Structures are given as structure tokens and as C-alpha cells.
Structure 1
Amino acid sequence: MDVEIRLEPGRAAPKVLILTGEMNETVAELARRLSAVESRFLAGRRGDEVLLLDPAQVRRIYAQGQQVLARTEGETVLLKNRLYELEERLAGGPFLRVSHGELVNFDHVRSLDLSMAGTISLRLDNGDAAFVSRRNMGRIKSYLGI
């Protein structure tokens, strides 16, 4: 594989062009990896302050009204992204959609309450609770191996 870097004064963001004779799995994987390269932080707002959140520290991300909020150990931060965008961005990690309006970081789930018929209540390490909708029950049970 040849790699060429061309400098273009005035260009604000890098552009990657893949030239190939045929589409194959190697090229598709390369394109996928290049597309996934993004900042590892989530940008959130608290008043006039922009905060960079490490996704590993975020317990849950949820929609409330027209806003998307991220809950960390001790605070709630407003995010600019839509929930589906964050779900795509965080795919393949510990974040799973548990309901229409919520993603949960399963690295911070401490217990599950199965006592309510037809639902699972998740207790997070910061004291928050989240409920798994019936639609997402199978995926969560599969992820947890139960």
C-alpha cells in the first residue's frame, strides 16, 4: 500500500482519499477505521463553560425534553449531539441503548433488579437507576449473558 501526504495551505481539516482498483474487505476496513477516528472526548456544556468528558466517566446519556444530557459521578452536563449520533459514535463499547431515550455505560452498572415483571431496573455506581424497555430486553440479556 502506498501512502502519500500532500500539504494544502489553507485547508482546515484533513481529507483522506482512497484510490483502489477494486473494493475488498481490506479497503472497507481501512475506510471504516478512518471514518471512526474522532476525538475520544464528548463535548458538553455547563453554563458558558465547555467541558470535555471522557466517555469512560459517563454513567448514562439520556434525553429530557429537547435536550440530551450526560450524567457523570456527580454532575449532569448538556450535550450538543443527538442520542442516535452518540449511540453510533459509542458503538462497540460498554454503552448500550436501554430505552428509546437512554444509553447506559455497563461498566458502571452495579446491580440488576429483576423483581418487576417484564422489566429490568439497573442500579449504577453513582446511585442513578435506569429501566430497560421491553424492546431492548433481549439485547441487554444477551450482552449480560443472562
Structure 2
Amino acid sequence: MKIKIDIDSKYDDCYVTIQAKEWTNEVDELVQLLKKKQPKRIVAVQEDRSILLKPEEIDFVFARDRKVFAAINGEFMELKMKLYEVEEMLKKCGFIRFSKSVVGNVNQIDRFELSFNGTLCVYFISGSKEYVSRKYVHDLKAQIMEGGESLDR
């Protein structure tokens, strides 16, 4: 794939042109990527304050006792959303399902350890850790491999 960028003051708006011999999966992925709008911030509540979080700084989001929390550097901040809403909002930012109650940020993963029962222990750059249930290990591997990385690092 070749990329050509033309920046000039003669243009009033931003246009993207894709030139290809035929419609392929790569073209389709590019179109979908261009259409996606990534959330800039997500609102968390801590005590009486509302805090704006950048999706890229969140390690994982989890549900416990009918509440949803974002984990950032070992701190937990409550979100006033359902877990499935957070998952839908953040999937464009590299978040995928780890288990029934956890959605994790693939971009913050540092390393993995396989557990004896088939689950995966994920360690984040911040030092936090979370588990991926057997049901979702395959999806995580696929997401990581798509990015060119390996689980054996």
C-alpha cells in the first residue's frame, strides 16, 4: 500500500481518495477505520468530582456489585455507564472483552502469563493485572496478532 498526502492551502476541506484495482478486505478495513470516531474522553466519578479520562490511559474497565469502574495506575474510578456501553464506546480505542465482567485495553498490555486452567494473566504497563477467561483468550490472541505482536514475548 502506498500513501500520498497533499497539504495545500487551496483545499477548503479534507478529502480522502482510495485507489485500488478491486474492493479487498484491506480497502474495506481502511474505509471502516476512516469512518470511526474515537471518543476523546470518558467521564468518571470520584467522591463528588467528575473526572475526564483519556481512553488510552485506562488499563481495564470492570463491573462489580452492579457498578462499573475504570482502572488507571492501580486506582479505580466509577463510571456511570453499563459495561456493554463502555465496551462499545472504547472498542475503537483497542479495548476488547477479557471476561464476562472485564473489558481491557490491548494497547496497555505489557506481558502475559498462561495459567494452568487455560486463563491468561495479563500484566499492564502500569503494573496492574487482570485475567482473561478461556472463552476470550482466542479473541485477545487474534487482536494482538493483528497488530503484529506475539503472546510469547
Corresponding residue for 1:97? 97
Where in structure 2 are the equivalents of 1:1-146 lying within 5 Å?
Answer: 33=35, 40-145=40-145
Letter in 2 for 1:40: K
Moved over 4 A (4+): 36-39
Count of equivalent residues: 115
8 Å contact kept, 2:55–2:93: no
Partners of 1:79 and 1:108 lie apart in 2 by: 19
What is the deviation of 1:117? 3.7
Partners of 2:114 and 2:89 lie apart in 1 by: 29
Letter in 2 for 1:132: V
Percent identity between matched residues is: 27
Partners of 1:107 and 1:92 lie apart in 2 by: 11
8 Å contact kept, 2:73–2:126: yes
Partners of 1:63 and 1:109 lie apart in 2 by: 20
Structure 1 residues 57, 85: CA separation in 2 closer, same or farther (over 3 Å shift)? same
TM-score, normalised with respect to structure 1: 0.70
Alignment RMSD, CA only? 2.2
TM-score, normalised with respect to structure 2: 0.67
Partners of 1:112 and 1:38 lie apart in 2 by: 27
8 Å contact kept, 2:112–2:123: yes
Which blocks of at least 5 consecutive residues in structure 2 are unaligned?
1-30, 146-150
